[in-house]
Structure 1
Amino acid sequence: MPDKLYPEVIPSSSHAMRCQDLSPNTLKVLKTLISHNYKAYAVGGCVRDKLMGQDPKDFDVVTNATPEQIKACFRNCRLIGRRFRLAHITFGREIIEVATFRGHHKEEEDQSETKPEITDDPIDSTRRKLSPREQKYSAKIKADKKSKTSQDGQLLRDNIFGSIEEDAARRDFTFNAMYFDVSDESILDFANGMTAIKERQIEMIGPSDIRFREDPVRMIRAIRFAAKLNMKLPDSLSKSIKENAHLLANIPAARLFEETNKLLLSGYGVVTFESLVKHKLLAQLFPLLADLLSDENSKEYQLVLRMLKNTDNRINNDQRITPAFLYATFLWYPMEEKTQALMFESSMPMHDALNLASADIMFRQSRRIMIPKRFSIPVREMWTLQLRLQKRQGKRCLQLITHPRFRAAYDFLLLRGQTEGGELLEIAQWWTDFQKIPDNEKQKWVAALPNKSPRRRRKRKPKT
């Protein structure tokens, strides 16, 4: 991998991107940093998407200012992260992420030779003696600036800062190493990103095996970009992903939640899912499904595929979606299998077995992808409501239709019915029709249902 890359300067007359393509707050951040005599550029996705004819949504900024220097320029700035130290500048709900140019991670003894302004104390120790609290903070910041790798070569901490030429060499794909300069609206293309865009081919900067070991998430980013941007994965890159798929096990479960959402909830879920299966990455994200999705004609595979088609349609029609529905679908059959096993082994009632199975499946999946409670609780509620939707007895129907999770649970029941057919599809169709009739006729529909669980006769109390 090259230590530095040098740019081809593409003037504004040769490309379509302009300052107004950036969000107003991104433009404000860039101009503020430049006014403080720092270099600053918009980089990555916003440049790539605009050049490919799409509307940019995420705006990232890079600069030669250190995180502490960035914070000094903005009141509304906070520093985050230990693995990669970043500045978040907040404008209401919009957050502009600003990163310092990355340098190459070297041996610890060589790090003293990096740029002097980067290694300065965040607290000026020449003015006065530091308090114990300030000494502890200063030592922590210094420690965070060092790089650290695992035995597999994965970067655990990477706060070595450098020049823009080094930063470009550290980026993952060639089309992400393009920097937009707001001062003259030119683009600095460091790795022939324009060529990759024209040929619609994903090219990695440096040897793919090394880059995947540094950060295995780059594999699923490659899959996502190929699906989202309709680009090709070269055979060599595709082979490398299959060979290194196991490295995803090293990624923290919390980080994989956000990455999985980007993968499957961006309007290209079907294409992405099929590519994940092909490249052996799905088994790393959903190990409980590894065996169930081996057959494309199986109900497990078809349920997931049907859900992703519906989700893609909703996203492309600007309709609301939730990650809870995604995880409820992916994990339904493992949960159902676990429920049946508990009922068989312990003679447990179905409702109790389902609750225990739900807790167990969610716990096991969260060891791979950490699902926050705001989504895991709705998943379990959707699963529990499947039993109630299938019974349809007495006044329960009238009560159930007002449940906060009814609509999501009904949509899931309909999805299952369309996949499995038979009685389940008939019940789902009944609920479809039941929602359309006037409220004053709903009671008649409920009364017309066959009573499958006869009332138990009460035992008379013995006479005294």
Structure 2
Amino acid sequence: MRIPASEHKIAQEQICERADAIIRKLQKAGFEAYLVGGCVRDLLLGLTPKDFDIATGAHPEQVRKIFSSARLIGRRFRLAHIYYGRDYIEVATFRAPHDESAQGQVNEQGRILHDNVYGSLEEDVWRRDFTINALFYDPVSGDVLDYIGGMQDLAKRRLHLIGDAEQRYREDPVRMLRALRFAAKLDFELDGPTGELIYSMGSLLHGVAPARLFDELLKLLHSGQGWKTFLLLEQYHLLSALLPVTATSLAHDVDGQYRKLLQSALTNTDHRLAEGKSVMPAFLFAVLLWEQVHTQMVQAQLKGHPELQALHIAATDVLRDQVKITAIPRRFSNVTREIWGLQARFRHRDLRRATILFNNPRFRAAYDFLCLRANSGETIVADDCEWWRSFQETSPEDRPMLCKNSGKKRRTKRKKTKSVAAE
């Protein structure tokens, strides 16, 4: 069904000029070409698309011949990236149903191994995951193409898998994560089997490559709706498949203190993203894994290990368990370790050590983590959070006196504690 420009909300000036130029050049060369997927969906919902993806009848090699800056990527799913400096527009060829050839293999569980069986626009529609992502837009004619009821599902704010839901999840289990991400981002309901099957099929995620699950986890929790998405992961029993360490911590969180830490961290992350500020994957994992790290650190101390050594043992064990599921790159896990390692140093308030800590490149992240712990109910660090707030607000000239007064207060406090103990 073609929906003319007069009957939808997309305006020409909303279209990325580069994507528009690519489509026009492909059409001029005799190929069908359209905007497709999330960008069309978001434009129809009145949102600003993050990316403008293109689907075309041209094969990747043909796209490369037309555009000198095109690079072909992927083996499982071959497509073209047309570069503009460091930026690029993604161009995918229409896909057809799988066959028995090497280009369309699936494994015994139904998971797609190769996805390079090219087809027509009408065939490509049925290969997409959700109806709301199977809408095409032609910037030349201004028409939206809807072959499968995507416009109706947009109007009803529902997420519906195309075709047999069980087969689609078996083809690619990550679709379950995408379903929850879209539900949180768009505030849509999961329709029938699209949601119901997730409860029984979540174990399929164990067969997904850890590197891919790491990328998907960041998309889920750094989407701007991180806390809402986290709750959906819990609701649909997928948390243990992605974050078993976190799930274990929550199962033993009798007083709700750890849940409060997670909620504060993810809510703050959502606010930062809404304000256009940067976020750190390393900080996210510092929060998600902290409870188990802290628990195992205490256990190691009880066995006689010094505090820093106990932390190192606990961090190594917990990160090793998580990396088996989501392959956290070392450039992130090393920073996560630093954030944890600096927590004990916030207890020191003499000027020399305070200044060294303040000048540490990880100070800000570690301090924010400290205050999240305090705000979630860890009273043991509440005083440290307040003191370090004062240290940052105090001029360099007055910091020596702040540290000196703090030392006096601590000595007085220790004397009172000893006196009460003696009585």
TM-score by structure 1 length? 0.85
- Structure 1 vs Structure 2 CA RMSD: 1.7
Aligned residues: 409
> Mapping of 1:281-296 within 5 angstroms?
281-294=238-251
1:78 is the counterpart of 2:78: no
> Mapping of 1:292-441 within 5 angstroms?
292-294=249-251, 297-345=255-303, 347-441=304-398
C-alpha contact 2:286 2:339 (8 A) present in aligned 1: yes
Q: Deviations over 1:41-78 (max 9, x none)?
A: 10000000010111111111111111111111112111
Q: Deviations over 1:244-299 (max 9, x none)?
A: 11111111111122211111112111111111100011111111122222358522
Shift of 1:356: 2.7
For residues 61 and 313 of structure 1, the distance between their equivalents in structure 2, rounded to whole angstroms, comes to 31
Q: Deviations over 1:321-364 (max 9, x none)?
A: 1211111100111212222233334x221111212322332232
For residues 96 and 216 of structure 1, the distance between their equivalents in structure 2, rounded to whole angstroms, comes to 26
1:15 is the counterpart of 2:8: yes
For residues 71 and 410 of structure 1, the distance between their equivalents in structure 2, rounded to whole angstroms, comes to 49
Which is richer in helix?
2
1:213 corresponds in structure 2 to 170
2:152 corresponds in structure 1 to 195
C-alpha contact 1:249 1:284 (8 A) present in aligned 2: yes
C-alpha contact 2:76 2:114 (8 A) present in aligned 1: yes
Shift of 1:217: 0.8
Q: Give secondary structure in 2 for the equivalent of 1:420.
A: coil
Q: Deviations over 1:141-181 (max 9, x none)?
A: xx5xx122222111122111111111100111101111111
Q: Deviations over 1:6-61 (max 9, x none)?
A: xx110111111133322122112212212221111100000000101111111111
For residues 386 and 327 of structure 1, the distance between their equivalents in structure 2, rounded to whole angstroms, comes to 15
Amino acid at match of 2:175: R
For residues 296 and 341 of structure 1, the distance between their equivalents in structure 2, rounded to whole angstroms, comes to 19
1:176 corresponds in structure 2 to 133
Shift of 1:371: 1.6
C-alpha contact 1:328 1:382 (8 A) present in aligned 2: yes
For residues 297 and 156 of structure 1, the distance between their equivalents in structure 2, rounded to whole angstroms, comes to 45
TM-score by structure 2 length? 0.93
For residues 380 and 12 of structure 2, the distance between their equivalents in structure 1, rounded to whole angstroms, comes to 58
Unpaired segments of 5 or more residues in structure 1?
1-7, 109-142, 454-464
> Mapping of 1:43-58 within 5 angstroms?
43-58=36-51
Q: Deviations over 1:391-421 (max 9, x none)?
A: 3345100111111110010000000011124
C-alpha contact 1:202 1:226 (8 A) present in aligned 2: yes
1:66 is the counterpart of 2:77: no
Q: Give secondary structure in 1 for the equivalent of 2:375.
A: helix
Out of 27, 30, 33, which is 2:23 matched to?
30
Shift of 1:98: 0.9
2:421 corresponds in structure 1 to none
Q: Deviations over 1:122-158 (max 9, x none)?
A: xxxxxxxxxxxxxxxxxxxxx5xx1222221111221
C-alpha contact 1:395 1:446 (8 A) present in aligned 2: no
For residues 315 and 194 of structure 1, the distance between their equivalents in structure 2, rounded to whole angstroms, comes to 29
Q: Give secondary structure in 2 for the equivalent of 1:187.
A: strand
Shift of 1:205: 0.5
Out of 112, 117, 120, which is 1:155 matched to?
112
Amino acid at match of 2:263: L
Worse-matched range after superposition: 169-178 or 333-342: 333-342
1:271 is the counterpart of 2:228: yes
Worse-matched range after superposition: 182-191 or 11-20: 11-20
Q: Give secondary structure in 2 for the equivalent of 1:290.
A: helix
Structure number with the bigger relative contact order (C-alpha 8 A, sep ≥ 6) is 1
Amino acid at match of 2:301: M
Q: Give secondary structure in 2 for the equivalent of 1:47.
A: helix
Q: Percent identity?
A: 40
Q: Deviations over 1:415-455 (max 9, x none)?
A: 001112423111111111111011111111112233889xx
C-alpha contact 2:261 2:287 (8 A) present in aligned 1: yes
For residues 201 and 306 of structure 2, the distance between their equivalents in structure 1, rounded to whole angstroms, comes to 44
2:417 corresponds in structure 1 to none
Q: Deviations over 1:208-235 (max 9, x none)?
A: 1111010111111111111111111134
Q: Specify whether residues 83 and 336 from structure 1 end up closer, same or farther in structure 2 by C-alpha distance, changes over 3 A only.
A: same
1:113 corresponds in structure 2 to none
C-alpha contact 2:351 2:399 (8 A) present in aligned 1: no
Out of 389, 397, 400, which is 1:443 matched to?
400
1:252 corresponds in structure 2 to 209
For residues 20 and 257 of structure 1, the distance between their equivalents in structure 2, rounded to whole angstroms, comes to 36
Q: Give secondary structure in 1 for the equivalent of 2:335.
A: helix
C-alpha contact 2:34 2:136 (8 A) present in aligned 1: yes
Shift of 1:236: 3.4
For residues 423 and 104 of structure 1, the distance between their equivalents in structure 2, rounded to whole angstroms, comes to 60
1:114 corresponds in structure 2 to none
1:233 is the counterpart of 2:226: no
